[in-house]
């Protein structure tokens, strides 16, 4: 069976692709090593841990789990600081462990769980311990680069990792994929476009793929002119037309930075060079990705815009389980439309592509600066158009300080992330 998600190692940065011979070797080697990890045919993964359980993806995952009583068990759940919300989920889903990242939330969590037998924990080490507990699948659904270290802890245990937390791959793609390969972990995409690509690729040979096109909804401001965009408020940006998601990714969808992050994510997940990845705006969010082959065929995956479909696949692959989503009726929908993205109004997409092509630490700087800028926009400290401008300025400043070289270690990646946040913060203030 073709294992596209174990291909990520061995590629250079930028648009350099993996040589065919290397790909074959990686495939054979990794498929062999992953043998003990993938559930045997006919068997579902059972014990699930959810990092970021209180968020949008976390809750959708737990909703699916509750929809299949007796099939899944919950091992560990984590959250940032919402002790009451996490405790309620841990009790409802009979988790064995619950961890908050914020140590100050520990007392409330421990109190809420007292007498339940559920282990309570707090802080970064406890987060890593939760991610490392024995589980068949760890759903990585923390938002932002904060998810990198705990997700890597799950990877290092050789687990199946259902990856929603795209910032892991944006920040540390090469390193992350090397760790996946070294541990024989199994990486399954949860992001809907990447889940769609994974399905459309199936068992095809990497060499047969000509192009992968991710679709973008275009977000709430698809038709807005520059004057309206410059005055756009967080409330308006948070009103996504199709998807219900956490605040950060909803803003990323409005700027189209989300699609830029997803191009970088796709570059690491799939065996294609950067110049064979692109995106098209598809306002209905029904077609999630198109994979074009050398013979002219294009395979697409369609589903209602509901994350429970790709989450269900990541939990059950190579099988499929029921997901309680609205079924597609194309006759009712009537039409599906497509248009090119407008990088003049949505420059974040172009900035992200430049970071992908530059490689090295550029994607890590892009991500960190974007996290800082999105937070500043949500707090009404900067305007909507300032988000992409801050990210572009941060990349330029990092470049002029010689910070965009390759990061060989996790410590190096974390140091660049910290430095890029500091840079972006100082550039925000100057705007
Ligand atoms: P969210 O904001 O709804 O939830 C984030 C979760 O992470 C929460 O449980 C929160 O407590 C936890 N968290 C936040 N900061 C943390 C920190 N510093 N340390 C530890 N935990 C922390 O976000 P979401 O929309 O569920 O998105 C999660 C990830 O999935 C993101 O990377 C996003 O890009 C990706 N994703 C989301 C969707 C979606 O539909 N929501 C779709 C595709 C991909
Ligand atoms: Mg997506």
Please write the tens of the pLDDT for every residue from 262-272. 999 999 999 99
Instruction: Check residue 431 and give its pLDDT.
Output: 67
Output the CA 249–ligand 1 centroid distance in Å.
8
Please write the tens of the pLDDT for every residue from 66-92. 999 999 999 999 999 999 999 999 999
Please write the tens of the pLDDT for every residue from 282-306. 999 999 999 999 999 999 999 999 9
Please write the tens of the pLDDT for every residue from 90-121. 999 999 999 999 999 999 999 999 999 999 99
Please write the tens of the pLDDT for every residue from 138-188. 999 999 999 999 999 999 999 999 999 999 999 999 999 999 999 999 999
Mutate to test the pocket of ligand 1, among 58, 86, 98, 141 (most ligand atoms within 8 A of CB): 141
Query: Is pLDDT above 50 for 231?
Result: yes
Please write the tens of the pLDDT for every residue from 343-379. 999 999 999 999 999 999 999 999 999 999 999 999 9
123 CB neighbour count, 10 Å cutoff = 16
Measuring from atom 25 of ligand 1, which residue has the nearest CA?
A: 246
Cα 220 from chain centre: 21
Structure confidence at residue 216 as a pLDDT band (50, 70, 90): very high
Q: Which ligand is nearest to the CA of 146?
A: 1
Q: Which ligand is nearest to the CA of 289?
A: 2
Mutate to test the pocket of ligand 1, among 109, 164, 238, 323 (most ligand atoms within 8 A of CB): 164
What is the value of pTM for the model shown?
A: 0.92
Name the β-bridge partners of 78: 99
Alpha helices in 327-409 (DSSP H): 330-333, 347-358, 362-378, 384-400
| Cis ω before 318 (30° cut-off from 0) | yes
Q: Read off the pLDDT of each residue in 216-242 and give the average, rounded to a whole number.
A: 96
Output the CA 169–ligand 1 centroid distance in Å.
14
Instruction: Check residue 223 and give its pLDDT.
Output: 97
Residue of 380, 200, 227, 397 whose CA lies nearest to 293: 200
| Cis ω before 225 (30° cut-off from 0) | no
- Element (DSSP H or E) covering residue 412: helix 410-430
Q: Read off the pLDDT of each residue in 30-44 and give the average, rounded to a whole number.
A: 43
Contact 345, 229 (CB under 8 A): yes
Measuring from atom 27 of ligand 1, which residue has the nearest CA?
A: 143
Output the CA 332–ligand 2 centroid distance in Å.
24
Q: Which ligand is nearest to the CA of 163?
A: 1
Q: Read off the pLDDT of each residue in 245-261 and give the average, rounded to a whole number.
A: 97
The Cα 157–Cα 64 span in angstroms is 24
Output the CA 25–ligand 2 centroid distance in Å.
30
Query: Residues with beta carbon inside 6 Å of ligand 1?
Result: 52-58, 79-80, 82, 101, 141-143, 146, 164-167, 191, 243, 245-249, 307
Mutate to test the pocket of ligand 1, among 79, 246, 311 (most ligand atoms within 8 A of CB): 246
Instruction: Check residue 43 and give its pLDDT.
Output: 64
Q: Which ligand is nearest to the CA of 307?
A: 1
Supply angle C-alpha 166, 286, 202, rounded to 5.
65
- The packing angle between helices 362-378 and 247-255, to 10°, is 110
């Amino acid at each position: 069976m073709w294992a596209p998600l174990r291909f990520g190692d061995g590629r250079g940065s930028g648009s350099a692709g993996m040589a065919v011979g290397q790909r074959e070797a990686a495939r054979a080697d990794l498929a062999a090593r992953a043998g003990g990890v993938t559930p045997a045919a006919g068997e579902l993964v059972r014990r699930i841990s959810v990092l970021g359980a209180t968020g949008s993806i976390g809750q959708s995952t737990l909703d699916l789990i509750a929809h299949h009583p007796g099939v899944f068990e919950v091992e560990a759940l984590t959250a940032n600081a919402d002790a009451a919300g996490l405790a309620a989920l841990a009790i409802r889903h009979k988790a064995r462990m619950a961890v908050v990242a914020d140590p100050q939330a520990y007392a409330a969590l421990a109190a809420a769980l007292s007498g339940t037998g559920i282990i309570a924990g707090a802080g970064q080490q406890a987060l890593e311990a939760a991610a490392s507990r024995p589980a068949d699948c760890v759903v990585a659904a923390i938002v932002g680069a904060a998810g990198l270290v705990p997700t890597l802890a799950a990877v290092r245990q050789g687990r199946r990792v259902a990856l929603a937390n795209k910032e892991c791959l944006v920040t540390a793609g090469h390193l992350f994929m090397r760790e996946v390969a070294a541990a024989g972990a199994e990486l399954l995409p949860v992001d809907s476009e990447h889940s769609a690509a994974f399905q459309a690729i199936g068992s095809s040979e990497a060499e047969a793929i000509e192009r992968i096109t991710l679709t973008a909804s275009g977000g709430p401001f698809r038709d807005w002119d520059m004057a309206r965009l410059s005055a756009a408020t967080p409330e308006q940006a948070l009103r996504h037309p199709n998807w219900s998601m956490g605040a950060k990714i909803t803003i990323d969808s409005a700027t189209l930075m989300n699609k830029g992050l997803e191009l970088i994510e796709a570059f690491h997940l799939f065996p294609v060079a950067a110049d064979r990845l692109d995106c098209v705006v598809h306002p209905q969010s029904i077609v999630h990705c198109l994979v074009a082959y050398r013979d002219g065929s294009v395979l697409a995956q369609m589903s209602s815009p509901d994350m429970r479909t790709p989450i269900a696949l990541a939990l059950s692959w190579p099988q499929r389980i029921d997901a309680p989503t609205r079924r597609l009726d194309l006759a009712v929908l009537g039409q599906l439309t497509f248009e090119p993205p407008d990088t003049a109004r949505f420059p974040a997409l172009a900035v992200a592509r430049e970071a992908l092509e530059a490689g090295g630490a550029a994607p890590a700087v892009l991500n960190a600066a974007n996290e800082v800028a999105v937070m500043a926009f949500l707090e009404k400290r900067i305007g909507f158009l300032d988000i992409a401008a801050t990210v572009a300025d941060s990349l330029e400043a990092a470049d002029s300080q010689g910070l965009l070289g390759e990061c060989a270690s996790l410590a190096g990646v974390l140091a660049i992330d910290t430095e890029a946040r500091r840079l972006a913060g100082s550039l925000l203030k100057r705007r």
